[in-house]
Structure 1
Amino acid sequence: MSAKKTLSPDQRRALLATPAGWLACGFGSGLAPIAQGTFGSAAAFIPWLALRQLPLPLYVVALLVGFAIGAGACAIAGRALGVDDHRSLVWDEFIGQWIALLPLGIAALLPPTGLAWWMPVAAFALFRLFDVWKPWPIRWLDRRVKGGFGVMIDDVIAGVFAAVVLGVGLWSVG
């Protein structure tokens, strides 16, 4: 089955039958009929509202734990679907989006007025840009690294690219 096809009812049941499948599909956000990655990235804001309250070192630990658990969950879900990286697997978007939002947790980057409404929107837009565009090495990783780690790593790098651009932008206006 091509990664572009929608899930059959049996595949949806297989995906949602395990905690790994629920996590891998972003608690259901990856089951949207179109733009699954965008829906997953948007859904990532809900837990981020709690995560952003963490001190920076704990936020980074949460990212690392989320990556490790996500790589395992995406591997399990991919096997259940019979597709290595189906578009419904969006936990990688959660982690990538949280990385893109990382500069908003670094007070030194924020302007004196603090967090503005446009900053999370900019993080979202930048992450989606890099995730869809896939400049090197994101595209290279996406094509060559397989399994749960492969599902996750290209979005991690897209998140890093977005975080760097957002961080430089915030630093320049601060």
Structure 2
Amino acid sequence: MSEANRPARPDLRRPHHLIAFGFGSGLAPFAPGTFGTLLAIPIYLLLQSQPLPAYLTILLGLFLIGIPICGRTSDDLGVHDHGGIVWDEVVGYLVTMSLAPPGWLWLVLGFLLFRLFDILKPWPIRWIDRRVSGGFGIMFDDLLAGLFALVVMQAIELTGVIQ
């Protein structure tokens, strides 16, 4: 690839790049989505004590601000859904954990389930990932992965497999 065709590098001095790249976690040399999801854990720990309506309101706000932030960063870099854009992973994990019981086991299970659905992208996640562009597309497929993981976590909790 010639230098003229190479995508721009993120500039973390620009606030939208800093947020989209998960405050630098998206710059990890391998598995940036996993590092972005790891960033979501302390954010979740700060939010978990919120009443559900407040948690969901904050989550909606984080999703909505992610749309223009990720879209603009993607445009700046010239790559749709650049691998280093991880704000969508942060929000997706927070979706996964929105009804999670307390405890480290649930934190880890939510992490693993979210990463599984984010990586495998079962239908309709893969379909949306390929057809919906811009910041909304970047955010929405991870929102769905978070919802899939949330449903599996709720099923596990209801069956009592994990106590």
Separation in structure 1 between the aligned mates of residue 62 and residue 33 of structure 2, nearest angstrom: 17
Deviation track 1:152-173 (CA, whole Å, cap 9, x = no partner) reads 0000000000000001111211
Match among 51, 76, 88 for residue 80 of structure 1: 76
Q: Which residue of 2 aligns with 1:119?
A: 106
Shift >6 Å, 4+ stretches: none
Q: Which residue of 1 aligns with 2:47?
A: 51
Separation in structure 2 between the aligned mates of residue 67 and residue 167 of structure 1, nearest angstrom: 22
What is the number of residues matched between the two proteins? 157
TM-score, with length taken from structure 2: 0.91
Asked if the contact 2:26/2:36 (under 8 Å) is kept, the reply is yes
The letter of the residue matching 1:99 is V
Measured on the aligned residues, the alpha-carbon RMSD in Å equals 1.6
Q: Structure 2: 5+ residue runs without aligned partners?
A: none
Separation in structure 2 between the aligned mates of residue 84 and residue 17 of structure 1, nearest angstrom: 21
TM-score, with length taken from structure 1: 0.86
- Secondary structure (helix, strand or coil) at the match of 1:166 reads helix
Q: Which residue of 2 aligns with 1:168?
A: 155
Q: Structure 1: 5+ residue runs without aligned partners?
A: 2-6, 105-109
The answer to whether structure 1 residue 145 and structure 2 residue 132 are counterparts is yes
Q: Give the Å deviation of 1:144.
A: 0.4
The sequence identity of aligned pairs, in percent, is 46
Q: Give the Å deviation of 1:52.
A: 0.8
